[in-house]
Structure 1
């Protein structure tokens, strides 16, 4: 009975999507006006291609946003090295810009189609992927069903389930079993995540560790970095990165509290750069002098805040400091990935709400490379301590490097687990190279 109700619920979801389809085009146009969709490429969201499908084996890799995209770049390059074409889909304008800057022509990029029958059918029929690899936590019922109907293997890599998602699925176990059971393989990033996927009906499930531990440090332009370092001079610096609403104000509080003693430069890098105008207005209302990267502003001795409101330059911002507060952890829930900060050479600070990166933080904290702060006052004290205590700061940086090294190895485990799916494609690609024609 429960199985029947679950099937009825999923059928209702698909029917609702079909019913809403006529309204999708104006909805996408509205989002494009707001800057949330690429105006020139929004038809990709309806499954219409903007690129030709190349000849030969092709794997569809989906990474929802910036974090997931960065995580799968080493895996994508391994697939490309094996002569397999990669169709990479993402869901945000920010992640599309990252793909262009980091991967260029190594992949075919498209915006992911909406989880509605007609766009998904159109997308799969055109691209005809040999396998689908997903690096995110969301489950899309229509996409799962259409891939299953065509016998296309569906593999989840670097898989995780947040506390909230797991609780939600546990409240609907019959639906979860129908959906998670369609996955051909789950490669989870932790023991906890693996157990959760098994509980919800996925099989087989293996554990790889976090793919983000095998990524390269974020890139940067050495000339730009040197220019900004010369502008900063001998001033002390700290950065608040991947910030969400409320955390920029917290960074401003820290800056004002410490300025009389340290005359420091505060670097703020919002998770969503399009909030730059809003953040600058708030900072100016507090009497702070702001320089924005997007405008090419010069950092002067009077500059209080350097606002990093650009895409794909985290490597620049992190290399301008040795102290990094990682956001979505103080005024928001979930946390953001601390690995980039630790890789580049920053002592890592974070608020307490890091549920989505719990295991990563545990490993870095255990080594001594990160510290949690419970509120903005404690953040101010921690920033001041690290600014004025070179030995403690260097020790945290070294411990963070050590933690990152210990976390490496997920890529090789993932590739080994994928071999039954990718080895036949590699053989086919080498027997019939892409240059043979369409």
Structure 2
């Protein structure tokens, strides 16, 4: 395959997308009907928006899912501290929730335009970004080529390349080079990732480590936290966070078993998808448990067995207990990132499946900062043991804190790598209108 042929294929991809554009609406409407798209904001996926571009330099940061949005939140905080404007795009309803929780109105949030030329062009015409920062592995040909054609510098941060993706790109070396050469910098999570990006045509490439470990815990309304803790009082409690289907029933069983040993025990449950809350409440109530729901403003009373945290307040849920089980780890969900709970000083428990977060769990487990539960029947015993044994609980907490410190540093490396791209924008902002957009 010649270089000319590779570029011809990429142009054909763009033309095919443009041809399909008129027919995308039905598919997007179907996704919205299933909750996979934010219906009222669906037009943003076509590059349309009612939001105004702020004066001065604008940096476009893109992170498609919840994990990627969480990972770049610390980097976004650093950039915001320099007085620059950020348009953050995400691809899912869940990632939009993370953006609201972590960044509130400090950024302009938009849903990412579809990788179809009319949508991407409309988005870029409106926002006119001075720099594009893309998270992890978001390689969208039309978007990359459009940015390249407009000479907008592109940086891939927290870059990773899975075995499957690498093998796929390696079959088409000229095609991959025609895309990856558009990046001004790739900041990779590991040496292996860096080697893969380099072999596919990216230049230059640096190794930063994972931004996931440099994330600050989500903020919390301190007054509301004190109010809820006042309702809970001195009751023994533990939390099951980011639970997937089936894990709420496991948590309910733990609550029942613990109640035989502690007369005042409380279980805090925060489902990964709050839209399941009605079904979860019905399931728990059928098991004879009294449920208080945050979405209803229910108080935690003496008779309450379960506090169901079904509002966008992860920061509060994380701070209600110092024994935390992370869901998605018992029935094939791939696990959830435990960094927040570790950073806040909780003893973290997880099931055996943490494939999506192996890079995080590996060092924590090795150093004793997370205790793994081999099967669901062991969870009640582990929680019971940690409730009764302060020394064991604090050993896990202390080990987690020390392990986390050794895992951090990627944010500083990434910021240093970005400095040649960001510093001119800071100067430009200061020499421009003098008006810096703050939200």
Is TM > 0.5 for Structure 1 vs Structure 2? yes
**Does the CA-based 8 Å contact 2:254-2:379 persist in structure 1?**
yes
Q: In the alignment, which residue of structure 2 is the partner of 1:53?
A: 53
* Pairwise CA distance, 1:65: 3.1
* Pairwise CA distance, 1:279: 2.1
Q: In the alignment, which residue of structure 2 is the partner of 1:405?
A: 405
**Does the CA-based 8 Å contact 2:348-2:370 persist in structure 1?**
yes
* Pairwise CA distance, 1:417: 0.3
**Does the CA-based 8 Å contact 1:83-1:430 persist in structure 2?**
no
**Does the CA-based 8 Å contact 2:156-2:183 persist in structure 1?**
yes
* Pairwise CA distance, 1:113: 0.7
Matched, 1:390 2:424: no
* Pairwise CA distance, 1:339: 0.6
- Measure, in 2, the Cα distance between the counterparts of 1:56 and 1:270: 40
Compute the TM-score of the two structures, normalised by the length of structure 2: 0.89
**Does the CA-based 8 Å contact 2:69-2:99 persist in structure 1?**
yes
Matched, 1:274 2:275: yes
SS of residue matched to 1:202: coil
Deviates more, 1:416-425 or 1:28-37: 28-37
- Measure, in 2, the Cα distance between the counterparts of 1:255 and 1:177: 55
Q: In the alignment, which residue of structure 1 is the partner of 2:294?
A: 293
CA offsets 1:123-182 (integer angstroms, 9 cap, x no match): 112212111101243322221221122222221112234455456556666654444443
- Measure, in 1, the Cα distance between the counterparts of 2:49 and 2:157: 25
Q: In the alignment, which residue of structure 2 is the partner of 1:326?
A: 326
Deviates more, 1:114-123 or 1:291-300: 291-300
Distance 1:30 1:174, change over 3 A: same
Distance 1:371 1:181, change over 3 A: farther
Matched, 1:337 2:337: yes
SS of residue matched to 1:198: helix
Deviates more, 1:353-362 or 1:91-100: 91-100
Compute the TM-score of the two structures, normalised by the length of structure 1: 0.89
> Unaligned 5+ residue runs, structure 2?
none
**Does the CA-based 8 Å contact 1:315-1:344 persist in structure 2?**
no
* Pairwise CA distance, 1:114: 1.1
**Does the CA-based 8 Å contact 1:54-1:434 persist in structure 2?**
no
Deviates more, 1:286-295 or 1:191-200: 191-200
SS of residue matched to 1:261: coil
> Unaligned 5+ residue runs, structure 1?
none
**Does the CA-based 8 Å contact 2:244-2:333 persist in structure 1?**
no
- Measure, in 2, the Cα distance between the counterparts of 1:436 and 1:160: 33
Equivalenced residue count is 436
Q: In the alignment, which residue of structure 2 is the partner of 1:306?
A: 307
**Does the CA-based 8 Å contact 2:338-2:348 persist in structure 1?**
yes
Q: In the alignment, which residue of structure 1 is the partner of 2:38?
A: 38
User: What are the residue-to-residue correspondences of 1:21-420 with 2, within 5 Å?
Assistant: 21-162=21-162, 165-166=165-166, 169=169, 175-263=175-263, 264-311=265-312, 313-420=313-420
- Measure, in 1, the Cα distance between the counterparts of 2:419 and 2:193: 22
- Measure, in 1, the Cα distance between the counterparts of 2:146 and 2:22: 20
CA offsets 1:178-202 (integer angstroms, 9 cap, x no match): 4444332211223343344335443
**Does the CA-based 8 Å contact 2:59-2:87 persist in structure 1?**
yes
- Measure, in 2, the Cα distance between the counterparts of 1:305 and 1:336: 21
Distance 1:388 1:137, change over 3 A: farther
* Pairwise CA distance, 1:120: 0.6
- Measure, in 2, the Cα distance between the counterparts of 1:6 and 1:286: 60
Distance 1:165 1:239, change over 3 A: farther
Distance 1:389 1:198, change over 3 A: farther
CA offsets 1:365-387 (integer angstroms, 9 cap, x no match): 23321122222123332222212
Distance 1:31 1:379, change over 3 A: same
- Measure, in 2, the Cα distance between the counterparts of 1:184 and 1:191: 19
Q: In the alignment, which residue of structure 2 is the partner of 1:428?
A: 428
CA offsets 1:330-372 (integer angstroms, 9 cap, x no match): 2124322111010111111112322332222122223321122
- Measure, in 2, the Cα distance between the counterparts of 1:171 and 1:278: 46
- Measure, in 1, the Cα distance between the counterparts of 2:294 and 2:371: 28
* Pairwise CA distance, 1:204: 2.2
Deviates more, 1:226-235 or 1:120-129: 226-235
**Does the CA-based 8 Å contact 2:101-2:218 persist in structure 1?**
no
- Measure, in 2, the Cα distance between the counterparts of 1:291 and 1:111: 33
- Measure, in 2, the Cα distance between the counterparts of 1:395 and 1:212: 23
Query: What's the Cα RMSD here?
Result: 2.7
* Pairwise CA distance, 1:392: 0.4
Distance 1:122 1:363, change over 3 A: same
Deviates more, 1:253-262 or 1:138-147: 253-262
* Pairwise CA distance, 1:4: 8.0
